[in-house]
Amino acid sequence: MLFDAAARAHAYAHAPRVHALLGARVPEAIPRNIGAAPVLSLRPDFQLVADATGGYRLVATELEVCPSAQGVAGALQSGYGLAGDLVAEMCALLDGRRLRIVMASAWSEFMWDQLAFCAALEAEGAGAWLMFDIPFERL
């Protein structure tokens, strides 16, 4: 269902008003990469929110196309005795393309996980870029 929503939203990506909204206050140095390809990876962020019954419910607060916490996912696979297939599955999904991971410096504590994941992809013949909103030297 999330991929369907992303696919429907993609249809509006080239509408002038939506394009202007999505590009508002985005620094020129950040590459634009809007294409016709479908979304292949989507990860929601969930928050627990109190509801009117005094209970809690999960609310999706973000839909992210940038993968996150591969190091945590790998540790969980290992800890629960599952097949460590994250790198192989991502390589198959990429199908020769390079993965672009764009991160905000506010989340730079995940940099080492991301760099390790990039190295693992490179070792399997795939590639990735890790990009931040500030020069890497300032992190």
DSSP of 21-48:
HHHTT--TTSPP---SSPP---EEEEEE
| Confidence band of 52 (pLDDT split at 50, 70, 90) | very high
Place of tokens 């009117």: 52
Assess if residue 37 is contained within a domain.
no
Q: What is the pLDDT of residue 1?
A: 60
* Residue 23 tokens, joined: 């590009």
Assess if residue 30 is contained within a domain.
no
Give the total number of structural domains in the chain.
1
Assess if residue 34 is contained within a domain.
no
| Confidence band of 60 (pLDDT split at 50, 70, 90) | confident
Assess if residue 105 is contained within a domain.
yes
- Distance between CA atoms of 6 and 89, rounded to whole angstroms? 21
Assess if residue 125 is contained within a domain.
yes
Assess if residue 88 is contained within a domain.
yes
Range of the domain at 130: 66-139
Assess if residue 115 is contained within a domain.
yes
Q: Which range has the worst mean pLDDT, 14-28, 51-65, 66-80, 89-103?
A: 66-80
Assess if residue 95 is contained within a domain.
yes
Whole-structure pTM value: 0.56
